[in-house]
Amino acid sequence: MRHNSLMTTAPISAAAAPSPLLSRKERHKKGQALRQLVSRSSHAEWSPARNRSDPLALLTQQNTHRITSLIPVRYERMRASPFAFLRGAAIVMAADLAGTPTSGLTVQACGDCHLANFGSYASPEGIPVFDINDFDETFRAPFEWDIKRLGTSFVLAGLETGLSSHRAHALAEIMAQTYSTEMRRLSQLSPLQVWLNRIDLKNAIAHFEDAKTRRATETLLKTRLDSIKTGFGLIADDRNAPSLHEKPPLVMRLPDQDDATRQAFARYVATQPPERLALLKHYALRDVIFKVVGVGSVGTFCAIGLFTTADNEPLLLQIKESQESVLAPYAGPAVHIHNQGERVVTGQRIMQAVSDSFLGWTHSIGDDGELSEDDAHLPENESRRQFYVRRVKDTRLAAIGADFAQEGLKDYAKLCARALARAHARSGDPVTISAYLGKGASFSAAIAAFSVAYAAQTKKDWKNFVAVTTSKPASSAKASS
């Protein structure tokens, strides 16, 4: 039996194939030579291709694999602002990035790298760490794709909080420069030291430049760490028969999906390795509830399972549908992916310094592509779903970054850049990347220029999206000419 809690040793992409070991000097030389092939200033380039795919056509195509009744919710959230549109349109930016100059230096990329997909969570020891916290689109890809998307998000967020265009531009530049500086630091460490490196949020907050932001965030962190003990308000206060709270329209029961959800959780438990089963055998699934998540993820299947002991001690796990990464069509050939949930889990384990020990994947289709006996009765759309499983994260703790970013975007840009550089260094070559970046000034200026240009493109796309989707039902909206 293949235990899906174990990290696969096979790379996600053929680009990650093993290569001969090279010394630091050789890798540094390789990075410097690459500047002659792909200049750092070339990363500033952005102009829409003449045959650019229509953004709404890409979104409509993506909707065919989502729960139809939730598409209006997705579109409503994306209409809120250009930044909200960016969050929901990872598929659009992936197609656009594929036409930009690329360094050829690949890493395990986030794939949906914007400032709201970073956050804090508690390590098994209860220490709050800061990291990337969304991996639905993770794939092996050029390292600069994540940086360009992150830079664009800071420009848009800066403009929406009232910053001048000059200061919004500076945010992207500061972020890219911090990435370069952190990558240079990591390039001097051993691979093991890089792998064990983590960002302690309390320590990071203590070094914020803005004193007001520092004090406010320290208070916020203390308050939200206490919420971890309360089940995040999801569990009904009934010790005799614990159950999950409904909070319509975002957290609700879907009776017609109940059996399928329970079966998927059962498959997850059945495929855990012995050391995880030793813990899970003390818990039984008591209740399940459906949850609407994110902006880009709206419409994908997501549910929460309440597991309890015989004494009603709770364990909350989340099952979330995984589909093909938006980077997959553009990032080069990939080796066989057994399950899209496995792709997400493997990517998360590679990129995060401290990962959830309950990470795993499950499915509602047989491994051979044929329906299993248990799946035969499921609806057609349900029979083809693949999922990953994780512990339910404290959304209030995860949102600390986004909360303090309203007043401390500069500090937050630096923090996100540090986390991204560390995540990239775990799967990429920090020495080669750092040598390519150099001191970072040329690269950061290019990233800032790209971010401003693509932010303007996003605003234009958003206006068109709003005009089209507010005049037609979401399910029938077509790409405008």
Question: Is 292 part of a structural domain of the chain?
Answer: yes
Write out pLDDT tens, residues 371-402. Answer: 344 443 444 444 468 999 999 876 666 666 66
Q: What is the mean pLDDT of residues 141-145?
A: 98
Query: How high is the mean pLDDT of the chain?
Result: 85
Residues 73 and 149 in one domain: yes
Among 34, 175, 161, residue whose Cα is nearest residue 113: 175
Q: Which of 1-5, 287-291, 298-302 has the lowest average pLDDT?
A: 1-5
Q: Which of 93-102, 116-125, 128-137, 451-460 has the lowest average pLDDT?
A: 116-125
**At 334, is the pLDDT very low, low, confident or very high (cuts 50, 70, 90)?**
low
Residues 184 and 324 in one domain: no
Residues 101 and 204 in one domain: yes
Question: Is 203 part of a structural domain of the chain?
Answer: yes
Q: What's the gap between Cα 156 and its chain centre?
A: 18
pLDDT at 5: 44
Residues 437 and 455 in one domain: yes
Write out pLDDT tens, residues 448-470. Answer: 999 999 999 999 999 999 999 98
pLDDT at 309: 94
pLDDT at 230: 54
Q: Among 343, 364, 394, identify where a domain stops.
A: 394
Q: Is residue 47 scored above 80 in pLDDT?
A: yes
Q: Is residue 226 scored above 60 in pLDDT?
A: yes
Residues 303 and 251 in one domain: yes
CA-to-CA distance for 65 and 72, rounded, in angstroms? 14
Q: What is the mean pLDDT of residues 92-121?
A: 95
- Which tokens go with 76? 């409503």
CA-to-CA distance for 184 and 188, rounded, in angstroms? 7
Residues 366 and 412 in one domain: no
Q: Is residue 82 scored above 50 in pLDDT?
A: yes
CA-to-CA distance for 222 and 476, rounded, in angstroms? 47
Among 152, 56, 103, 175, residue whose Cα is nearest residue 470: 56
N residues, the chain: 481
Beta strands in 258-374 (DSSP E): 284-291, 302-308, 314-321, 360-363
Phi and psi at 362, nearest 5°, equal -155, -175
Sequence-separated (6 or more) residues with CB below 8 Å from residue 276: 5, 357, 358
Q: Which of 128-137, 203-212, 218-227, 247-256 has the lowest average pLDDT?
A: 218-227
- Which tokens go with 353? 């310094």
Q: What is the mean pLDDT of residues 304-333?
A: 91
Residues 259 and 317 in one domain: yes
Question: Is 475 part of a structural domain of the chain?
Answer: no
Among 430, 468, 405, 375, residue whose Cα is nearest residue 154: 405
CA-to-CA distance for 449 and 42, rounded, in angstroms? 10
Q: Is residue 107 scored above 50 in pLDDT?
A: yes
pLDDT at 368: 40
Q: Which of 132-136, 346-350, 364-368, 433-437 has the lowest average pLDDT?
A: 364-368
**At 218, is the pLDDT very low, low, confident or very high (cuts 50, 70, 90)?**
confident
User: Is there a contact between 467 and 66 (Cβ–Cβ < 8 Å)?
Assistant: no
Q: Among 349, 379, 394, identify where a domain stops.
A: 394
Q: What is the 3-state secondary structure (H, E, C) of 199-265?
A: CEHHHHHHCCCCHHHHHHHHHHHHHHHHHHHHHHHCECCCCCCCCECCECCCEECCHHHHHHHHHHH
Q: Which of 16-30, 88-102, 194-208, 350-364 has the lowest average pLDDT?
A: 16-30
Question: Is 305 part of a structural domain of the chain?
Answer: yes
User: Is there a contact between 151 and 174 (Cβ–Cβ < 8 Å)?
Assistant: no
pLDDT at 251: 84
Q: Is residue 406 scored above 80 in pLDDT?
A: no
**At 217, is the pLDDT very low, low, confident or very high (cuts 50, 70, 90)?**
confident
Q: Among 369, 394, 419, identify where a domain stops.
A: 394
pLDDT at 250: 78
Q: Which of 55-64, 65-74, 140-149, 439-448 has the lowest average pLDDT?
A: 65-74
Question: Is 465 part of a structural domain of the chain?
Answer: yes
Residues 456 and 320 in one domain: no
Largest CA distance in the chain: 69
Q: Is residue 128 scored above 70 in pLDDT?
A: yes
Domain residues for the domain of 390 are: 232-394
CA-to-CA distance for 38 and 26, rounded, in angstroms? 19
Residues 240 and 344 in one domain: yes
Q: Which of 11-15, 69-73, 79-83 has the lowest average pLDDT?
A: 11-15
Q: How many CB atoms lie within 10 A of CB 263?
A: 18
Domain count, the chain: 2
**At 432, is the pLDDT very low, low, confident or very high (cuts 50, 70, 90)?**
very high
| Share above pLDDT 90 across residues of the chain, in percent, rounded to a whole number | 58
Question: Is 149 part of a structural domain of the chain?
Answer: yes
Residues 241 and 335 in one domain: yes
Q: Give the C-alpha distances (Å, rounded to integers) separating 320 from 5, 136, 338.
A: 16, 9, 16
Question: Is 195 part of a structural domain of the chain?
Answer: yes
Residues 121 and 151 in one domain: yes
Residues 88 and 32 in one domain: yes
Q: How many CB atoms lie within 10 A of CB 166?
A: 8
pLDDT at 300: 81
Question: Is 4 part of a structural domain of the chain?
Answer: no
